[in-house]
Amino acid sequence: MQTYLTRGTCSRQILFDVTPDNKVENVKFIGGCSGNLQGIAKLVQGKDVDEVISTLKGIKCRSNTSCPDQLATALEEYKIKISRHGEE
């Protein structure tokens, strides 16, 4: 499971998995608006990482970001980490 500490949002942390075939799984937001974030987690379940990034990147709420935008950022950072290390 990957852990991302959010910046500028009500949620404090995002937990998620990425499958070997690049699909987003098991997204869980810690803190924030529970119902909305459960909905986002269900909507991205099983979607390709790049699709989730392109769909959610740039959505604004507070501090020029949002929980969906932070999930996109978390996935971008995951991709950078994987490309550098070649592993999870």
**Residue 56's CATH number:** 3.90.1010
Domain range for 71: 2-85
Inter-CA distances, 78 with 46, 53, 81, Å: 16, 11, 5
Q: How many domains does the chain divide into? A: 1
pTM: predicted TM-score of the whole model, two decimal places: 0.92
Q: Smallest Cα–Cα separation from 78: which of 17, 7, 8?
A: 17
Residue 64 φ then ψ, to 5°: 60, 25
pLDDT tens, position by position, 29-86: 999 999 999 999 999 999 999 999 999 999 999 789 999 999 999 999 999 998 887 6
